[in-house]
Structure 1
Amino acid sequence: METIKVLELFAGLGGFHIAVNNQKDANIQVVKSFEINVNAVKTYQENFGYDVISNRNILSLSTEELIRQNVNAIFMSPPCQPFTRLGKKLDVNDDRCNAFHHVLKLLPRTPNIQYLLIENVYGFESSKMRENMLEILQSSGFYTIEFLLSPTDFGVPNSRLRYYLLARKNKKFTFCKHDPPSIVSTKE
């Protein structure tokens, strides 16, 4: 079984890392994480160690460094403020999109990245940023599938609809009857 080695971007407190650690049957390992918020980094370090997380701006990440991380997957939850229903909805015109866009521009030059998992708010699915993301992913050989999911869909009493994208390079998804990219909506 292939080991999925993950670079966790926009790591926050380590939500993806927790999810990976809870998957005992999966062969997934978070190799490195990046987060700009100092307090989030301190919490992450307490939970997962000091050698996993880097406190730095993702805009400083280069293609060469991404390749040197020796990862084949990126999990990320980019800033959601540009897409929230109650926010200003600046979308791609919000500077908080710059780091996400930077990562997407690195992907065509990083053959080692084979998988992506992206999480964001309900509202991202109708954004220009999403359109840009899908265009870059598809032109880079990624097949994508998208979901709108809420914890209530899994029996958790928390109604918080979220956007998820799974992407895999050069191989279609077979577990869903929809041709990528598709939004599989659930009840709100």
Structure 2
Amino acid sequence: MNEQENNIQDENLASVDSTSEENTVQPEETAEERLQQELTNANDKYTRLFAEFDNYKKRTSKERVELIQAASKDVLIKILPILDDFDRALAAMETAQEVAPVKEGVELVSQKFKKTLANEGLKEMENLIGQPFDAEYQEAITAIPAPSEELKNKIIDVVEKGYFLHDKVIRFAKVVIGQ
């Protein structure tokens, strides 16, 4: 066994010597080759990183679109019962003999619709008449002479209501101001 172990050790030493001889024989070529290999590795790494980033952008863009579609789907599902109520109200209007019950039914549907929208974060701009004009929340569509001195530069009429969605303006109120 000792003889076998000695032979194995001699072979290992011979392979180590031959490897070190190879390394010392080509010092100029290995430095250039090593730099060339590093450049190739860096270019490969850059290309892979760029491709990964491009895939990341595409994936996040697709996820964002899917999230928006899913959010709108949830809101539409909540509005569908109100649409059914409107259909029933229209059908009832065709056969109704009196206006009062139809009016009451439409008012109930309107309240249900407003409550559903409020639950989704929609809030109406309220009590604008008589308030000072604020360009951050309102859009002046016209200015008329103020009926009284205290209504100058204040809102006289609201032509179209404004709305907030989670405290952010999504539609400016269209107003008439006094001058």
TM beyond 0.5? no
Structure whose alpha-carbon radius of gyration is higher = 2
TM-score interval w.r.t. the shorter chain?
Answer: under 0.3
Higher relative contact order (CA 8 A, sep 6+): 1
Decide which structure has greater helix share: 2
Decide which structure has greater strand share: 1
TM-score (norm 2): 0.22
